[in-house]
Amino acid sequence: MSHPLEPLFALQKKDLKLIRVLREIQDIPKRRGDIEAQLSGAKSKLDMALESRKHTEASLRDLENEIELLRERVTKYKQQQMEADSNEQYRAFVKEIGAVEAEIKSAEDKQLSLMEALEQGKEIEEGCRTQLASEEGSIADEIQELDERLQALNERAEQMKADRRRVAENCDKALLQKYSRILNNKKDAAIVLVESGGHCGGCHMKLPPQVINDARNATKTVGCNFCGRLVYNPAPQR
């Protein structure tokens, strides 16, 4: 007489493979998310570069306006200087004009360094654009691979489920229930072999001799006293 756990043990082989496939299916959205997050990093770098350029361009426009106003002031002062009634007034205008021209000079220096910053910013922006484009290319490939993998895994899981249903039909119903309960609980083997030295193949604790003997007895089903898994001790092949 064959042991009642024998067909369940065969079913378990299929179930453990199925569990691995289902786990991989579950992991795919996270892997997809990680890949997409990488892309959003490159995107936000480019956004920052664009933002910084806008800021520099706005500052440059403000400076240009400021310089124009200062130049107008110089022109006005020069006109007034020509119409000066006294030497004192004339010298006062020389001083005023000197002060405004100094302001113009400092604004022009600022303008120059902003223009340099703008050029550097454009190079950084170009670098970000190239980086993003290359990441978009490789990420699109990776995502497509993942999507194809997911589809293949889903198809495989459906076949495996149908296959395990057929095998499950030949198993003892009460044992099948017990087995399923342990399998769902452990997310791992529910039926384990007695390892050499009389240890449980699941938790590796030393099993009492009675359990080892009963595990060989086709009229009994026994569990490990420690982890609760069903213990199976097939007779040596003759």
Smallest distance, Å, CB 41 to Zn ion?
Answer: 46
Instruction: Give 121 or 201: the residue with its C-beta nearer to Zn ion.
Output: 201
CB-wise, 77 or 232, nearer to Zn ion? 232
Residue whose CB is less far from Zn ion, 53 or 199: 199
Backbone dihedral angles phi then psi of residue 230, each to the nearest 5 degrees: -75, 135
For residue 149, what are its two tokens?
């993998």
Query: Considering the complex, what minimum distance in angstroms separates the CB of residue 200 from Zn ion?
Result: 3
Residue 8 or residue 200: which is nearer to Zn ion going by CB?
200
Q: How far is the CB of 138 from Zn ion (least distance, A)?
A: 46
Q: What is the 3-class SS of the chain, one letter each residue?
A: CCCCHHHHHHHHHHHHHHHHHHHHHHHHHHHHHHHHHHHHHHHHHHHHHHHHHHHHHHHHHHHHHHHHHHHHHHHHHHHHHHCCCCHHHHHHHHHHHHHHHHHHHHHHHHHHHHHHHHHHHHHHHHHHHHHHHHHHHHHHHHHHHHHHHHHHHHHHHHHHHHHHHHHHHCCCHHHHHHHHHHHHHHCCCCEEEEECCCEECCCCCECCHHHHHHCCCCCCCEECCCCCCEEECCCCCC
Beta carbon nearer to Zn ion, 170 or 226? 226
Contacts with 53 (C-beta within 8 Å, 6 or more apart), sequence order: 118, 121, 122, 125
Contact between 190 and 221 (Cβ < 8 Å): no
Closer to Zn ion by CB, 4 or 228: give it.
Answer: 228
Least distance to Zn ion, CB of residue 188, Å: 11
* Least distance in angstroms from the C-beta of 196 to Zn ion: 15
| Minimum distance of Zn ion from residue 129's CB (angstroms) | 59
Which residues of the shown chain bind Zn ion in the complex (CB under 5 A)?
200, 202-203, 224, 226-227
Q: Give the residue with the Cβ less far from Zn ion, 162 or 197.
A: 197
Q: How far is the CB of 185 from Zn ion (least distance, A)?
A: 13
